[in-house]
Amino acid sequence: MSWLFKKRSKVYYIAGDGNDRNLGTHPTMAWASIERVNKHRKKLRDGDLLLFKRGFLYLGKLLPGHAQRGPKVAVGAYGSGDYPEFEG
């Protein structure tokens, strides 16, 4: 999957126990909500990665980014426990 990640790609962390005032760029500085991801969506670029912490339920829908279809952003999970769940 190395083709997916470009040199300037960024990883953003989202955790149910995070804080939307955080930078979102490290597990200890994770955002808390999909709403926060959506506020940042125009800054997302192809190859960026959104990692959701396992063991939490996330409410809402990811909105498209700056382009009509949005950037090609990968979504994954981090941590241990059950896969993250999504509702909305």
pLDDT at 8: 80
How confident is the prediction for the chain on average, in pLDDT? 89
Sheet with 11-14, edge to edge strand ranges: 11-14, 49-53, 74-78
Whether 13 has a pLDDT exceeding 70, the answer reads yes
C-alpha–C-alpha distance, residues 73 and 64, integer Å: 10
- Amino acid symbol at 32: A
Task: Please write the tens of the pLDDT for every residue from 15-54.
Answer: 999 999 999 999 999 999 999 999 999 899 889 999 999 9
